[in-house]
Amino acid sequence: MSTVERERETLKRMISIYCWRKHKQERGKLCSECRELLEYAFKRLDLCPFGENKPTCKKCPIHCYRPEMREKIKEVMRFSGPRLLIYDPIGWLIHEIKERFSFKQPSL
């Protein structure tokens, strides 16, 4: 699985967990607000200038999200990040390793 595909899956899981727990949606379904956020995040990911060398968003030198969307995704990540350990331990481990041990500095 490529880095971008893995990032897409992680985003999808995090937003899904958030929507299920916070917006009381049926598990696996997204409300319109969360669906909009996911589509926006996917669009930003597709346009990322780092491509396969993309760092985690927290370590990225470029902040490509609009301020209001950036706040929303940060809220989702703060809530869902720790819960990934329960719902997707392998995905959580991969994300944590990438977050803590970035081996190369991304360049444009």
Q: Do 82 and 4 contact (CB within 8 A), yes or no?
A: no
Give the pLDDT of residue 108. 53
Q: List C-alpha distances in Å: 4 to 27, 42, 47, 67.
A: 24, 10, 11, 22
What is the pLDDT, as a whole number, of residue 102? 62
Q: Give the number of C-alpha atoms closer than 13 A to the C-alpha of residue 29, restricted to the C-beta side.
A: 5
pLDDT score, position 67:
94
pTM: 0.85
Largest Cα–Cα separation, the chain: 41
Q: Would you call 67 helix, strand, or coil by DSSP?
A: helix
Ranges of residues in the chain whose predicted pLDDT is under 70: 102-108
Characterise 96 by phi-psi region: left (phi > 0), alpha (psi -120 to 50), beta (else).
alpha
Report the distance separating Cα 76 and Cα 16, nearest Å: 9
State residue 105's pLDDT score.
53
Which pLDDT value is given to residue 83?
93
